[in-house]
Structure 1
Amino acid sequence: PHAVLDPATRPGADDIPAVLRELHRQLSLEAFGTARLRFRHYPLADWLMHQTLADGVDAADSGRAALVRRLRDRRGRRSAEEPPVTGESGFGTALQVLLWLLRRAVPSAVFRIAVSGRVPLVGRHYRWFMRQQYLAPRQSVTFLGFAERLTAGWRDGEQPAQVDKLLLHAFLEDLRQAYRRRFWRPGDWRRTAYPVLLLDGVAVGTVGHTLVRLLNDVRNETGRNDPLLVVAVGDEPPPELPATRALREADEAYEEWAEALPETRRLRRAAAWLLVLRLEAGDVVPPARGHPPGALAAPDPPWWSRRFLPAAVVLVLLLAAGAWADRRWAPDCHPSPTGQVRVQLVDGECVGYSDSAGQLFNSDPGQDRLRAVQRRIFAQNRATEEVWRRSEHRRPYLTLVYLGSLTGNRTRADEESYVSEREELEGMATAQYALLKESAAADGAALLHIVVANGGRQMRHAGRAVTMLEGLARDDPTVLGVVGLVESRTSTAAALRELNRVGLPVLAPTLSADRMDQNSSLYLQMSAPNSDQARMLESYARQVLKVTEAHVYHTTGEGSSLADDLYVSTLVDGLRERFGDRLTRLDEWRTGRRLTQECGYPGVLVFAGRWSEFDGFLRALKECGANPPRHLLADDSVNRYMANPGLRASAPGNLPVTYVSKAALATCGALRAAQARRDDARGTFLGWVRADDLLEPP
């Protein structure tokens, strides 16, 4: 950026404001290849010098009020025309009050805070005027008092030289800020050449000479550097520095001047910032061909300050944030602003916990009833909180976490694949429902808040879920324990150990692998261990079926192994121990393997695997046609298959199956029989699950 001035050669320093005004106009033009220089301090000082206030002591208050109003309007407070708000209604009155706040009260308060200079980052240019040294600003106490001294009329009592130095100091401060290198603003680094002022016709007593002298004084007195380079052209050297150097010696003269500058600045020499070069005959030579005179090229800005960089950085950050969010969350797996929700996308599964309808686990087709029971639980959570609030927190308030496998199974669009998990949640919803039905006066009756947590398919990510639950238990003292864990695997055992470390008790309705209790001292297993199941299967074969020989096939499910599947491995070990030599075949069955060798087998054929492979196992036996194996026994995992209406309907019709059940006393038939016997507990439970306002459908 550059400016060229040829000020009039009349004596006096009264024209310094006019010179600075013209210099400000030229340097503010957006014509130098980079963003135009922006000024804040100098325009404010120049504007104040053009203001005229009321004269006289009695008019001081009104003059100050006028100055405040003009300063506020200068900040763009509001337009002169304000659309009126009419209406006699309360809404119209409230809208008028709101508009008054937005148009007048708020801007006025912000302006008062800014001019006070007491709040960091607000009104920094006002604060600068009170901290610079010209015109003794501290005597005015506030910026408004100092600003009043700069206005026309009031300024007559100030020293003109001090006023000129203030204007020049404000102008140079704007240049300093424009050329300040800040790493978070790459645009600042694109300025690679200082602004140049060419003063022509400079002679002693002219405004040009006065400007050069004031520039030297301001730099010495403030101790601040600025980026302005002034080239003054005159017929005679200034009286401050009569010694001159020839133009051809410019390089040596510059080095000597730069070396002596720190000392001359400290001594405040009148010519500390002057370097005088003398033009002699022969110094001016014709320019080389193709190089016009004055063709000075500014250095190129660094590559990282190019205009494309901010957009590129923002784009990269957005892409990185999008990739991170895509790995961590999905449209059906995201944090919710309401309730206690913490989830994370792990291997395509939404793992974590939720107590709010803002996050439901499993958006697969066909899982409507699983989502419906979650919505029911979460709605009852809100009702529970309301009842607890109305009881003034007198009733006990408990939180239980259900941790199960709610995602990951491959299912058809018309197949409900999480029947067991859904029924477990329905049981918890029923318990919650029963406690909500207690009388409001029953201060001793507990209220139940339920958090639903997902450990992923085969509980593979149970450890990740427990890590999240640890934070929940730390933040929420009402968390009493965890229910579920559904499958006996090594990942489940590791989760049990972590829950024990956290101090959360675990109630497991279906876990049955042997020695699961060794993983936690806060563990209660409701089902019999696999050693009991193996003993029962052997006794049933020997005492009821009257057969002794057995064939056992085991499966662990896709992506799992016998070492990882504690349920299958301990069950197989128990069967091997119970049947002993009578176990004539122990083999692993895989999908697609034929079982024609089992057609007509007179002994007991035992399926000791996971329910997910039972359908394929039955289809393999379907090849036997009218000669199926004589006795087919299945383990308790097959309960999940039997609870799935779609799978059960497609099963072969010529294969009688006997399977182990852990819930014989909770079937509808057993409950109806208990109700007929006036068993109040079971009868009441049957009434709850048949209620119209709980399960969908009842």
Structure 2
Amino acid sequence: MRGVATQGQPTSGRERLPSGGSEFLALLARLLRRPRRGDRRLPLIWLVRSAASPDLIALLRRVLGRGQQRRIPHAVLDLTEPPGTDIAAELREVHRQLSLEAFGGERLRFRHYPLADWLLSRPVAEPAEAGEDRRPALARQLRDRRGTRPGDDPAGGGNGDGDLFATAYQLAFWLVRRAIPSAVFRVAVSGRVPLLGPHYRWFMRQQYLAPRQSVTFLGFAERLTAGWRDGEQPDQVNKLLVHAFLEDLRQAYRRRFWRPSSWRRTAYPVLLLDGVTVGGPGHILVRLVNDVRNETGRNDPLLVVAAGAEPPPELPEPYALVDAEEAYDEWVDVLPETRRLRRPAAWLIALLLGDPSAGSEPRGGLLNFTPPGPPWWSRRFLPTALVLLLLVGTGVWVNSRWNLDCHPRPFGGAVAVELVGGECIGYSDTEGHVFNRDPGQDRLRAVQRRIFRQNAAAEQVWQRSAQRRPLVTLVYLGILTGNRTRADEESYVSEREELEGMATAQYALLQESAAADGAALLRVVVANAGQQMRYAGRAVAMLEGLVRDDPTVLGVVGLVESRTSTAAALRELNRIGLPALAPTLSADGMYQNSKLYLQISAPNQDQAALMDEYARQVLRVGDAHAYYTTGENSSLEQDLYVGTLVSDLRERFGNRLTRVEEWRTGQRMTQECGYPGVLIFAGRWSEFDGFLRALKECGPNPPRHLVGDDSVNRYMANPGLRASAPGNLPVTYVSKAALATCAALRTARDQRDDVRASFLAWIQADDLLDPPRCRDDGGPAAQVGERVSLAYDAATMVVRAVESLAARLRHGNPRGAWNPRAVNPVGVHTEVLRQNAEKGYPGVSGLIRFAAESGEPVTKRLSLVRVDRVTDVDTEPVEVFHCGSADAPAEQRCQPAGRTGQVG
């Protein structure tokens, strides 16, 4: 046998074909062209020719070798040499020819056949010389057959000088070249991991040589090596080789949408056998292909054309070549039955070549064996284009939902964020996502991380208590992005303070004794609604899924600003049955948006009354001017806080309010220079700095009494803004937590006020707030912060209600585990109101008593505090006037504070 070259051999002369030769070539060309859908069964064609018959194999070899770019994959075996060549050598030559990258298409790759052929060619190992068993040596050879094993092992070549770098390099080299490949090989050859070693599993699942008798692939492989396969049936060994060869062709032609190369194979491979003799190796190969197809029940894409002087004994009476089409059609009809019966000629079609003198010259069109072009969608450029398009589309989609500063981290806890309007909206309960990466906001990020660490600590304590302690989850929903800031400017002071209040409530509960099964634990989820609460609705929609999945979520704290977007969010929270506790919201009528709404601070009508009484009792002036702002890209209709405050001032002051107008950035205020009445700033804190700059023009003749609303406390809580404030005007502004200043808390501690004394102890702790508050070393950063106590009161109010419910639920089984589904958010809201109806809630910021028909507090303590110079950040504001109850319901009247004499 010898392999024949198949390229570069032009047709010589004008050959004549036997009768029916052109029709046969047309049939052959049709069979070799692969259908666009499905696959056809390909026969084994045996051409019987006399000495005078034309050499169709030579003609096919020449026409298959034509083509500038694409050719039909083919292999040619000339078997005219004396017999004796074995099947393994024949298949090895066919494999070599078909593996060449010479047909202008995807190279045919073989995995199963080379492994089987390699095993059959392994010599017998001599254990006496090798000093080891046969199987470990075979395993090592199998592992190394795909690459050259290094001759020198650096891991054993240390120089002994203790060079740490050299040792590390040797270890890394050993891992990469020896240990890791060895471990991967052991896993792959075991056949237990689906994605590793599929060809090893195939050998154990195919049917020849009873592979399962060997238990493992290594045992089966050992049976195939020289010397060990002497006890096996040679016919079974040959069938295994043929089956492995055909399996590689099957896999190469198996169409998969994720593998475009299989769709680009538009022509079947063909094997040409010349000089086939009955009983010879060519005949044996044809019979083996026939038997493997019958016994496995599987088709393959190989077309075999054999030519010999005698017909096969399986089909002693061949069809005339002119009847090739008829013979093929009949074969197609009977194939299902003959292969089921495993007939030795089930796949054979025998054709007799006649005398060429009775035929004709070949028509050029019939000799066109060029493969058809692949489908346009399987061209090489298309996968690349689709991948690029997918990457671009994915990038655009991801960028529209996330960016480098807004992306969910896999397995990062309860985290759901997306990019909305350029802001990262959503929620997080772990350091998997910390909101706001802007420069200068380190303290905002630090308190979030503190909360997230305490979340983990609360979870651990809960598990260690055998889940006996009640576990409460509250969501803080606020404004954590969107403000324009300098690199050294802390712009989210109020939000940071509210988070510090939540962290303080967490911390206090974690200090409880481990045996205190009735003491609840608090987990806080931080959520961002964007600048001016514009995306509160989207944030609540994302929280709905969290509420559905986590039964411990019992309420929302925060909401920060009273706007129409906040009102819409309250309606959504009411729809999903989640109570909302607002530490600082004060627009009138916010409770109308939710039946589950609870407000910690006094409403705007109380704030307007406070200003009016202050003007009457302390300043003793009758005239007032009011200027309002609503913030960037907002309006009076959208800003419910400013809108209701302006209305309340009009109603309270009446005719004494002689000027009410909107102040805009850049507007001059010279008309207010020397104004003797009350100049009220009734706008948003974000414009207060510009308002002060406008008043700076008055020089030594400023307005006598500047009073700001409670939004100004956000400005006054920002040391960076105050330090660069224009002028040194004295400012009086509304405070909702004057009872929680350092001086007030120390006085309360001396008077044995347990609520405020405990709060003071927590905020002074070294391991909670940064920096600790109200320490003896003092300093501006050591002040409590306006909103710390308000958020603390809101969180603690819910916790106390859950503890009360838990105590009643566990009356019969006090040591039982806490079932988070034992209470629901609506039930907790009801319990808060029940407790409140008895004697109110003694909060750090003052007594909280809710009205029966709403969630607004009644006569909640409001104060006016004063700083003599805006830029004096080291001095704590002084309370000059207050209204409402501090601790006892009887304290309801408005009156000056103890140091009212400082008022000018």
Alignment TM class, shorter chain as reference? 0.7 to 0.9
Q: 1:297 to 1:640 in 2, by over 3 A?
A: same
* 1:333 Cα offset (Å): 3.1
Tell me, yes or no, if structure 1 residue 184 matches structure 2 residue 255: no
Tell me, yes or no, if structure 1 residue 43 matches structure 2 residue 114: yes
Letter in 2 for 1:5: L
Tell me, yes or no, if structure 1 residue 317 matches structure 2 residue 390: yes
Q: Provide the C-alpha distance between the structure 1 equivalents of 2:657 and 2:261, rounded to a whole number of angstroms.
A: 82
Q: 1:543 to 1:147 in 2, by over 3 A?
A: closer
Q: 1:640 to 1:157 in 2, by over 3 A?
A: closer
- Alignment-derived partner of residue 66 in structure 2: none
> Any idea what the Cα deviations from partners look like across 1:283-331, whole Å, max 9, x if unmatched?
575997xx9x977322222233333444444433333343333333333
* 1:185 Cα offset (Å): 1.0
* 1:511 Cα offset (Å): 0.8
1:53 and 1:66 in contact (8 A); partners too: no
Structure 1 stretch displaced more, 98-107 or 39-48: 98-107
- Alignment-derived partner of residue 58 in structure 1: none
> Any idea what the Cα deviations from partners look like across 1:502-523, whole Å, max 9, x if unmatched?
4443332211111222333333
Look up the SS of the partner of 2:481 in the other structure: coil
Q: Provide the C-alpha distance between the structure 2 equivalents of 1:67 and 1:604, rounded to a whole number of angstroms.
A: 99
Q: 1:178 to 1:410 in 2, by over 3 A?
A: same
- Alignment-derived partner of residue 331 in structure 1: 404
Q: 1:496 to 1:264 in 2, by over 3 A?
A: same
- Alignment-derived partner of residue 296 in structure 1: 369
Which of residues 408, 413, 422 in structure 1 aligns to 2:487? 413
Q: 1:103 to 1:123 in 2, by over 3 A?
A: closer
Q: 1:450 to 1:128 in 2, by over 3 A?
A: closer
Which of residues 598, 615, 636 in structure 2 aligns to 1:562? 636
- Alignment-derived partner of residue 100 in structure 2: 29
* Alignment gaps of 5+ in structure 2: 1-72, 127-132, 161-166, 772-780, 783-904
Counterpart mapping for 1:140-539 below 5 A: 160-235=234-309, 238=312, 240=315, 242-246=317-321, 258=332, 268=343, 270=345, 272-274=347-349, 276=351, 278=353, 280-281=356-357, 285=361, 296-336=369-409, 337-338=411-412, 340-382=414-456, 397-437=471-511, 446-539=520-613
Q: Provide the C-alpha distance between the structure 2 equivalents of 1:357 and 1:159, rounded to a whole number of angstroms.
A: 66
Tell me, yes or no, if structure 1 residue 2 matches structure 2 residue 74: yes
Q: Provide the C-alpha distance between the structure 1 equivalents of 2:274 and 2:751, rounded to a whole number of angstroms.
A: 117
* 1:121 Cα offset (Å): 5.9
Could you tell me the TM-score, scaled by structure 2's length?
0.65
> Any idea what the Cα deviations from partners look like across 1:488-510, whole Å, max 9, x if unmatched?
12222233333344444333221
1:403 and 1:455 in contact (8 A); partners too: yes
* 1:460 Cα offset (Å): 1.8
- Alignment-derived partner of residue 68 in structure 2: none
1:257 and 1:275 in contact (8 A); partners too: no
Counterpart mapping for 1:565-604 below 5 A: 565-580=639-654, 583-598=657-672, 604=678
* 1:167 Cα offset (Å): 3.0
Aligned positions, number? 680
Q: Provide the C-alpha distance between the structure 2 equivalents of 1:609 and 1:522, rounded to a whole number of angstroms.
A: 28
Q: Provide the C-alpha distance between the structure 2 equivalents of 1:445 and 1:265, rounded to a whole number of angstroms.
A: 79
Q: 1:438 to 1:251 in 2, by over 3 A?
A: closer
Q: Larger RCO: Structure 1 or Structure 2 (Cα < 8 Å, ≥ 6 residues apart)?
A: 2
Q: 1:15 to 1:657 in 2, by over 3 A?
A: closer
* 1:228 Cα offset (Å): 1.4
1:11 and 1:205 in contact (8 A); partners too: no
Q: 1:281 to 1:138 in 2, by over 3 A?
A: farther
Structure 1 stretch displaced more, 237-246 or 492-501: 237-246
Letter in 1 for 2:390: L
Structure 1 stretch displaced more, 16-25 or 492-501: 492-501
2:80 and 2:274 in contact (8 A); partners too: no
Letter in 1 for 2:104: G
2:567 and 2:593 in contact (8 A); partners too: yes
Q: Provide the C-alpha distance between the structure 1 equivalents of 2:487 and 2:202, rounded to a whole number of angstroms.
A: 70
* 1:153 Cα offset (Å): 5.9
Structure 1 stretch displaced more, 436-445 or 75-84: 75-84
* 1:37 Cα offset (Å): 2.2
Tell me, yes or no, if structure 1 residue 113 matches structure 2 residue 151: no
2:190 and 2:216 in contact (8 A); partners too: no
* 1:351 Cα offset (Å): 2.5
Letter in 1 for 2:345: A
Q: Provide the C-alpha distance between the structure 1 equivalents of 2:458 and 2:291, rounded to a whole number of angstroms.
A: 77
Q: Provide the C-alpha distance between the structure 2 equivalents of 1:630 and 1:71, rounded to a whole number of angstroms.
A: 95
Q: 1:45 to 1:112 in 2, by over 3 A?
A: closer
Q: 1:68 to 1:493 in 2, by over 3 A?
A: same
> Any idea what the Cα deviations from partners look like across 1:206-227, whole Å, max 9, x if unmatched?
3323433443444445443222
* Alignment gaps of 5+ in structure 1: 56-61
Q: Provide the C-alpha distance between the structure 1 equivalents of 2:444 and 2:380, rounded to a whole number of angstroms.
A: 53
Counterpart mapping for 1:88-103 below 5 A: none
Q: 1:52 to 1:512 in 2, by over 3 A?
A: same
1:350 and 1:456 in contact (8 A); partners too: yes
> Any idea what the Cα deviations from partners look like across 1:204-256, whole Å, max 9, x if unmatched?
34332343344344444544322212232344555625444456x76676566
Q: Provide the C-alpha distance between the structure 1 equivalents of 2:231 and 2:501, rounded to a whole number of angstroms.
A: 89
Look up the SS of the partner of 2:275 in the other structure: coil
Letter in 2 for 1:33: G
* 1:5 Cα offset (Å): 0.9
Q: In percent, how many aligned pairs have the same letter? A: 72
Q: Provide the C-alpha distance between the structure 2 equivalents of 1:137 and 1:421, rounded to a whole number of angstroms.
A: 71
* 1:370 Cα offset (Å): 2.6
Q: 1:84 to 1:578 in 2, by over 3 A?
A: closer
Letter in 1 for 2:105: T
Q: Provide the C-alpha distance between the structure 1 equivalents of 2:517 and 2:336, rounded to a whole number of angstroms.
A: 84
1:72 and 1:111 in contact (8 A); partners too: no
Q: 1:151 to 1:294 in 2, by over 3 A?
A: farther
Look up the SS of the partner of 2:480 in the other structure: coil
> Any idea what the Cα deviations from partners look like across 1:549-572, whole Å, max 9, x if unmatched?
544433221122223222122222
- Alignment-derived partner of residue 888 in structure 2: none
Letter in 2 for 1:28: S
Look up the SS of the partner of 1:281 in the other structure: helix
Q: 1:275 to 1:619 in 2, by over 3 A?
A: farther
Letter in 1 for 2:770: L
1:353 and 1:465 in contact (8 A); partners too: yes
1:237 and 1:244 in contact (8 A); partners too: no
Q: Considering only aligned residues, what root-mean-square deviation do their CA atoms show, in Å?
A: 4.4
